[in-house]
Structure 1
Amino acid sequence: MTVNSHLKEFHGLPAFTFPDADDKSPRATSLPEPESVAWRVGVDAYDSEEEWEDAFARFLAAVDTERVRALIVGAWSEAYDSAPGAVIEALVAARERLPALRGLFFGDIVMEECEISWIVQGDVSPLLNAFPALEEFGVRGGNQLVFPAVRHERLRSLTVETGGMPVEAVRGVAGSDLPALEKLDLWLGTSEYGGDAGVADLEPFFAGTRLPGLIRLGLRNSEIQDDICAALASAPVVARLEVLDVSMGVLTDDGVTALLSGQPLTHLKKLDLHHNYLSTALRTRLLETLEPAGVLVDADQDDAESDEEEDGTVWRFVAVGE
C-alpha cells in the first residue's frame, strides 16, 4: 500500500486544486470563495513547464489571500530529486499576505508523482515560525526531513507522514513545546526507508509533559509497533487520551497482549489498530474487552501482507513504506 490519492479535504474544508496556467475552462475563471476551500497549489512532478513558486505567484495574484484559511502544497518540480527550499522560502515570504491561514499541509504528493519515501524534504520549521497562528500542520515525506524542536503556541494538530521518519526529526518533535496540541499523528515507517527511531526516542510522547493538551495520539505505520504498544501499556499520557492510534504497522498478538495487560483502556473513545497481524483469538479478546465499555475498536486487517521463506522466516510489512 502507498499514498495513491490527494487530500480530499483539509482543516475541515474541501480541497480545491488551483488551476494550471493553461487551463481555460470555466473552473479556472470562476474560483470559489477564498475561505470556503483548502487551496491546493502544485505543479507536475516530472518535466513541469512551471515552477511551484510561479504557480504560487499566480495564486497570490488571483485569490484574495487575506481570506484564505487553509493551504495545501502539492507537488513541486522533481520532488524526488529536489529539496523544497525555494517552496518554503516563497511561503515564508508571503506570510503577511496570508493573515487568516490556520491550516497548512506541505507535500500532498501521491505515488504517481513521487513515492512517499522518495519525496525529498528539508527543514520545515521556518513554516511554523512564519505562521504563529497556525492551528493545523501536516507534512509528507521523510527523506532528508528536518524538524528541529520548536515552540508554537497555537498549533492544535500535527501530522508527519513518512515511509521512514529520521530519528533526529522524531526527537525534534518530541522536544517541541506545543502547549495547545490536541492531535499528534506520526507515521514512523521502517529502517529500510530511514525510519531509525527506537522506543526510547518516543519516551517524551509517552510522558506527555510537553503536550499537556494532547487527547489524540497516533504512533503508527511502524515496524516496531509491538514495542510501542508495550511502552504505551504503562505510559502516563494514555490516561488522558480519547483516541489512541497504533494502526498501519507490524502489530502482532504480542503488542496487543501487552496493551490489554497494562493500564485500563476503557476510557478511550477509539482504539485504532487497523492493518495488523493479529490472530482471530486475540482480536476476539480485544473486542470483547473494550467494545462493551463503549470503545470504538478498528481491528480490521486491511490486507496486511506477510511473506514466509522456505526456512520459516516470516516477513511482515507496514502499510506505507516505499
Structure 2
Amino acid sequence: MDYSEFNDHVGNLSEGTYAGLPIASAPEEGDEEIPAPDRVAWRLSVAVYEEDETFEEGFTRFMEKVDTTAVKAVIIGEWPEANDGNDVVVRSLVDNAARFPALRSLFVGAMSREECEISWIEQGDVTPLLEAFPKLERLEIRGGRGLELRPVRHESLKVLRFETGGFPARVARAVGECDLPALEYLELWLGVSWYGGDTTVADLEGILSGERLPALRHLGLQDSEIQDGIAEAVAAAPIVARLESLSLSMGALGDAGAEALLSGQPLTHLKRLDLHHHFLSTAMVDRVRDALPGVGIDLSGEEGGQDGGREDRRYVAVSE
C-alpha cells in the first residue's frame, strides 16, 4: 500500500479523488449523463441546513439512478441532522447493505470546515457499518462528538481512520479490542480535552501491543495535547518493530517526546516518520535527522521557534 495518499488532513479529497477514483456527486433530478458506477467515488451530501430535502430522499434517489451493485466507494458529506447524530446515515447504509455488494471504501462526515466544523459533527455508533459490510476495506470517520464503537472482528478492513478534534477514550479502547487481522493502516486524530478528547496513553495500550493487529504497517497517533507522552509509549511499544510508517504529527510534540523516541527502540527500519506540526527545538530537529539518516522524515511546520517555545503555549493542528 502507498501510504503517501493519506498525508494531508483530508486524505486526497481536496484533489478530487478518493480510494483511487475520481469523485462524482450523486445525481440530481434531471441528470442524464451519469458516470459508470464503478469508475467513480460517489459523494452524497445534503446541506446541514437544507429544508427542502432529507438525507433519506437524497439517498433513495441515488439508489434509483445508479446501479449500486457496482459501487465501490461512497463519501458521505453533509446531512441535515449532522449536529444531532449520524443515525439517518448509518440506518440508510445498513438497511440497504445488500444493494451495495461491491462497496469497499466508505467515508462518513467528509465535510469542509465551511460546511461544519469537525468538532460540531455529531457521530454515533459506527459499529453497524462494519457488521453490515463484511467486505469493506476502508472506513473513515470525521467528527468525534458522540462517537461510539463496539469491539468487533472484521476480516477485510485494511484502512481505519478517525479524524476528530477530540477522540473519546472509550473508542480508543474499543479499537484496541477489535480483531482486525487485515488492517494495514490505522490513524487516530486525538484532539483536545475541550472537545471531548479524553484519551490517555493507557487507553492506547491495546493498539500499541499490536496483539489484534498482525498486519498493521502504518500507525498514526496524531493531533494530541499529550503527544510527548504518546511518543514515550510508542518508543517501547511492541507494534513499532513491524511498522513501515509512523506518524506522531499535528500535535504538541516537544523535545521530551523526541528524546524518548531517540532513546527507545530502534526506528531505523521505518520508511517514513511523520512529525509535522511540532514544537521541537532547532537542535532537536537536527538530532532527529542525524539519528535516522535512512528514514523519510517530515519535520515541517516548526511551531515553536528555535528553542521549541513554552510548553503551555503549544497547540494541536486541528481542534474545533
TM-score, length of structure 1 as denominator length: 0.91
Question: Which residue of 2 is the match for residue 104 of structure 1?
Answer: 106
Distance 1:155-1:205 versus aligned 2 partners, 3 A rule: same
Cα distance, 1:48 vs. partner?
3.8
Pick from 214, 217, 229 the counterpart of residue 215 of structure 1: 217
Question: Which residue of 2 is the match for residue 62 of structure 1?
Answer: 65
Cα distance, 1:246 vs. partner?
0.5
Give deviations 1:40-87, integer Å, cap 9, x for gaps: 10111123421111111111111111111011111100412x212122
Pick from 188, 191, 198 the counterpart of residue 189 of structure 1: 191
Question: Which residue of 1 is the match for residue 166 of structure 2?
Answer: 164
Contact 2:188 2:222 (C-alpha < 8 Å) held by counterparts: yes
Distance 1:74-1:302 versus aligned 2 partners, 3 A rule: farther
Contact 1:275 1:304 (C-alpha < 8 Å) held by counterparts: no
SS state at 1:36 partner: coil
Kindly indicate whether residue 22 of structure 2 is the aligned counterpart of residue 14 of structure 1. Answer: yes
Cα distance, 1:302 vs. partner?
6.1
Give ranges in structure 2 of 5+ residues lacking alignment: 1-8
Contact 2:279 2:303 (C-alpha < 8 Å) held by counterparts: no
Give deviations 1:81-134, integer Å, cap 9, x for gaps: x21212211111111111100111111111111110010111011011000000
Contact 1:71 1:103 (C-alpha < 8 Å) held by counterparts: yes
Cα distance, 1:188 vs. partner?
0.8
Contact 2:252 2:315 (C-alpha < 8 Å) held by counterparts: yes
Question: Which residue of 1 is the match for residue 319 of structure 2?
Answer: 321
Give ranges in structure 1 of 5+ residues lacking alignment: 306-311
- 2: CA distance, partners of 1:13 / 1:270: 25
Distance 1:97-1:79 versus aligned 2 partners, 3 A rule: same
Cα distance, 1:6 vs. partner?
5.1
SS state at 1:126 partner: helix
Distance 1:37-1:115 versus aligned 2 partners, 3 A rule: same
Cα distance, 1:9 vs. partner?
2.3
- 2: CA distance, partners of 1:304 / 1:143: 29
Kindly indicate whether residue 40 of structure 2 is the aligned counterpart of residue 37 of structure 1. Answer: yes
Kindly indicate whether residue 79 of structure 2 is the aligned counterpart of residue 79 of structure 1. Answer: no
Kindly indicate whether residue 226 of structure 2 is the aligned counterpart of residue 224 of structure 1. Answer: yes
Contact 1:47 1:78 (C-alpha < 8 Å) held by counterparts: no
Cα distance, 1:139 vs. partner?
0.5
- 2: CA distance, partners of 1:223 / 1:231: 14
- 2: CA distance, partners of 1:33 / 1:202: 42
Distance 1:270-1:181 versus aligned 2 partners, 3 A rule: same
Give deviations 1:10-52, integer Å, cap 9, x for gaps: 222122222444xx5xxx4212111111101011112342111
Distance 1:302-1:93 versus aligned 2 partners, 3 A rule: farther
- 2: CA distance, partners of 1:14 / 1:226: 38
- 1: CA distance, partners of 2:107 / 2:299: 28
Contact 1:6 1:110 (C-alpha < 8 Å) held by counterparts: no
SS state at 1:155 partner: coil
SS state at 1:32 partner: coil
- 2: CA distance, partners of 1:177 / 1:86: 27
SS state at 1:117 partner: helix
Question: Which residue of 2 is the match for residue 133 of structure 1?
Answer: 135
Kindly indicate whether residue 293 of structure 2 is the aligned counterpart of residue 277 of structure 1. Answer: no
1:304-315 map, 5 Å: 314-315=312-313
Cα distance, 1:304 vs. partner?
7.0
SS state at 2:38 partner: helix
Same amino acid, percent of matched pairs: 51
Distance 1:75-1:300 versus aligned 2 partners, 3 A rule: same
